[in-house]
Amino acid sequence: MRRWIPWLLIGCIGVNAVAALPEAWFGRASAMIDLPPGGTRIAVGWDGGGPAVTVNRPVAPRIAGVASVSSVTPFALRAVFVLIADLVPFVAAAAVGTDGIGMVSTLFFGPVRIDAGRCWGSVPNRWGTVQLSARPGLSLLFGAIEHDGEVEPFAGVRLFPGGHGLWEIDLSIGREAVRWAIAGVAW
């Protein structure tokens, strides 16, 4: 699995365009760090305006690092800190990055989770998603993102061909664009 990481990183550097919060489209912007320690999640896709790549890696039980390239921000690095983890089902995290600051909160009800967040910075936006993950190979995602006063609702699906979350194909359809991503976790 490690062999494709350099190619992805090369691809990442070669991409010029980026999205405001690509993780939102991929259903991954969550206040919960659910990747096991040592895993690096890499998502490559199309955010509607151009190619997008997001690399996400937990570096401590409550801290994750995120690097992203999208059609809006050429390159962004963020550190996500889980601030509230002991009030389950409510979890909250703050993000500090080169593209601004942000916050994300999650209400985790098991197979149903609600994630909502806001980003202040070069591309301010806010978004919310409801995700239903009741089957091993499939999650459904419904949400909306607001940017420049425009609200775009979208619906998406996350497919897990291996029956687990280490490989996935995401597709979301919004009013303005169809977005997709292929994501995998490497150790």
Partner 1 sequence: MGDCGGGVVSRALGWICVLCAFAMSCAAVPVTILYTNDIHLRFGRLASLEQRIAAERAGDVLVLLFDAGDAWQDFRTPLAAVWGADEMVAWMNRVGYDGMALGNHDMYWGRRRLEELAEEAAFPILCANLEPVRGQVPFIPSMRVEAGGISVLAIGLITEEWLPYSAYPALHIIPGASALRREIDRRATPSDLVLVLAHLPVADATRIASVVPEIDVFLTGHSHEETPDPVSVGETLIVQSGAFGERLGRLSIDVDPETGSHRLIANELLATEKAPTEIGRGLAQLLWIAAATAAAAILILR
Least distance CB 46 / partner 1 (angstroms) = 22
Choice between 15 and 82, CB closer to partner 1 = 82
Q: How many residues bind partner 1 (CB under 8 A)?
A: 46
Least distance CB 68 / partner 1 (angstroms) = 19
Choice between 135 and 175, CB closer to partner 1 = 135
Does residue 32 touch partner 1 according to CB under 8 A? yes
Q: Looking at this protein, which amino acid is placed at residue 104?
A: V
Measure Cα distances from 164 to 23, 72, 105, 170, 184 in Å. Answer: 19, 31, 24, 14, 11
Does residue 24 touch partner 1 according to CB under 8 A? no
Choice between 165 and 174, CB closer to partner 1 = 165
Choice between 111 and 153, CB closer to partner 1 = 111
Binding mask 87-126 for partner 1 (x = CB under 8 A): xxxxxx----------x-x-xxxxx-x--xxx-------x
Binding mask 150-169 for partner 1 (x = CB under 8 A): --------x-x-xxxxx---
Strand partners, 174: 154
Gap between the terminal Cα atoms of the chain: 8
Binding mask 61-80 for partner 1 (x = CB under 8 A): x-------------------
Instruction: Tell me which residues touch partner 1 (CB under 8 A).
Output: 27, 32-39, 61, 84-85, 87-92, 103, 105, 107-111, 113, 116-118, 126, 128, 131, 133-136, 139, 158, 160, 162-166, 185, 187
